[in-house]
Amino acid sequence: MLDKKITNEKVLRDPIHNFIHIQDQVILDLINTPEFQRLRRVKQLGITSSVFHGAEHSRFGHSVGAYEIARQITEHFDQYYGDVWDSNERLVTLVAALLHDVGHGAFSHTFEHLFGTDHEAITREIIMGDTAVHTILAQVSTDFPNKVASVIAKTYENPQVVQLISSQVDVDRMDYLLRDAYFTGTKYGEFDIDRILRTMRPTPTGIAFDIAGMHAVEDYVVSRYQMYLQVYFHPVSRGMEVLLEHILTRVRELYQASHHNPVPEKDFVGPLLAPLFDEKPLELDDYLKLDDNVFMTYINIWQSHPDPILSDLSQRFLGRRPLKSIAITNETAPLLGELEQLVDNAGFNPDYYTARNDAYDLPYDDYKPNVAKPRTQIDFLLADGTHRELSDLSTLVAAIKGKASLDQRFFFPKEMLNIEPDELFADTFKTFRSFIRNNALTTPNPET
């Protein structure tokens, strides 16, 4: 039985919460596992640091930050709400907060898209599988790993715990908004977390807020909305992501083709990446050896690969020369075929040098029983004990409720915008540019 407090709490210095307070041996042991330490080598925002150069922070800091928020909430609940909150839920909440991202791989978004993995499933696999994490959890009690995994899977019986870890105001979102705002240097992500934590309350059916916290919660929802539009959707980092995706696609093709070749691609892929490109399921052990460094190192090597497309894309990626983009709509999307043809004419294989990429987020929604994944709405307690939903109280939230933020873009090589006069493809480029107005795709004016 390991769920004991340590005598002298340990602290980690943290720029967001000042200190992360570690009071349980389990938490300390989990942090010290190789699986958790791997998170130091996975950037929180992936390639976004190519635009916001401060945003080089890793998932390690975010994970201990989410834990710290959970620690503050459960301490507050233990102290004030013993009637509605069961203090035995404390440890499972803290552990789930700490481990919620432990399955994230390098460049997660791109990775999952290409290789069909699911970081939440891998998180549960790490918790339940043959890992140092599992060993530590199992020392708490036989069913403890399973409890933690079910919180991640949102099937845990106590809705308070599930909502603290996964809901529209959970420890994950609160930490990443503050943290990403801090490291990018944007101000939009800031909100008054102290106020939110003081007014958060357990209820029999989950989590609600005292009406006194309404403006702080409103500000949090608006901040999140602004961060999506201004940071997470940034077209330049998506131009880098597209490069990365095309690099990995190309390598996979070359690797798999090389089985039939006299000269295999093994040297170019190395022992860590090979299992990823082999045509069989990736083992957990192999997955856990992958991190940002591995991909970056091999892209570095691929700069000298004999395949001209792979080496060119790799040089663009490391030299930070992203694909350019323009905004498109459902109305203008049919014109993309013509643009792809022009890119092809200029000598760029459109499969690797163009892409369509949609960024999407639903900033807030109330509970809609009939949709696929109904959301837990944000509720406030009034003086007479009744509840009211956030968008019913806030004009700003009402304006964005249920409306998806969507940014659809077409990516292409920067060379297409070349305006040097004596260029070989001057006419092609000129035609291409005639489709663009205010950085958006338009039907060219016939006379131009």
Of the candidate residues 4, 56, 130, 368, the single one contacting a second copy (CB under 8 A): 56
Contact pattern for a second copy over residues 101 through 140, marking x by CB under 8 A: ----------------------------------------
Q: 266-285: which residues touch a second copy (CB under 8 A)? A: 267, 270-272
Residue 188 as a binder of a second copy (CB under 8 A): the answer is yes
User: Across-strand partners of 407?
Assistant: 359
Q: Is the dihedral of CA 156, 162, 165, 171 positive or negative?
A: negative
Amino acid symbol at 130: D
Q: Based on CB atoms, which residue is closest to a second copy, 113 or 437?
A: 437
Q: Is 300 in the site for a second copy (CB under 8 A)?
A: yes
List the Cα angle 46/51/56 in 5-degree steps.
45
The residue among 168, 162, 197, 157 whose CA lies nearest residue 68 is 197
* Shorter beta-carbon distance to a second copy: residue 113 or 320: 320
Q: Residue type for 67, please?
A: Y
Q: Taking CB under 8 A as the criterion, which residues in 365-394 touch a second copy?
A: 382-384, 386
Q: What is the Cα–Cα distance from 88 to 229, expressed in whole angstroms?
A: 40
Q: Give Cα 401 to chain centroid, integer Å.
A: 22
19 part of the interface to a second copy, by CB under 8 A: yes
Q: Please, what is the minimum distance in Å from the beta carbon of residue 67 to a second copy?
A: 12
The verdict on 225 binding a second copy (CB under 8 A) reads yes
- 319 HSE (CA, 13 A, CB side): 9
Residue 448 contacts a second copy per CB under 8 A: no
Which of 11, 333 has the CB closer to a second copy? 11
Which string of x and - marks every residue 307-336 that binds a second copy (by CB under 8 A)? --------x--xxxx---------------
Cα Rg of the chain (Å, integer): 24
Residue 361 near a second copy by CB under 8 A: no
Among 4, 32, 367, 374, binds a second copy (CB under 8 A): 32
Using a 10 angstrom Cβ sphere, with 0-12 exposed, 13-18 middle and 19 or more buried, the burial of residue 68 is buried
Binding status of residue 185 toward a second copy by CB under 8 A: yes
Is residue 237 within the footprint of a second copy (CB under 8 A)?
no
Select from 394, 385, 390 the least CA-distant residue to 204: 385
Binding mask 392-431 for a second copy (x = CB under 8 A): ---xx-xxx--x----------------------------
Q: Among 118, 130, 143, 194, which residue interacts with a second copy (rule: CB under 8 A)?
A: 194
Q: How far is the CB of 438 from a second copy (least distance, A)?
A: 5
Contacts 24+ apart (CB under 8 A), 87-93: 89/158, 89/160, 89/161, 91/3, 91/24, 91/26, 91/140, 92/144, 92/147, 92/148, 92/151, 92/156, 92/161, 93/151, 93/161, 93/164, 93/165
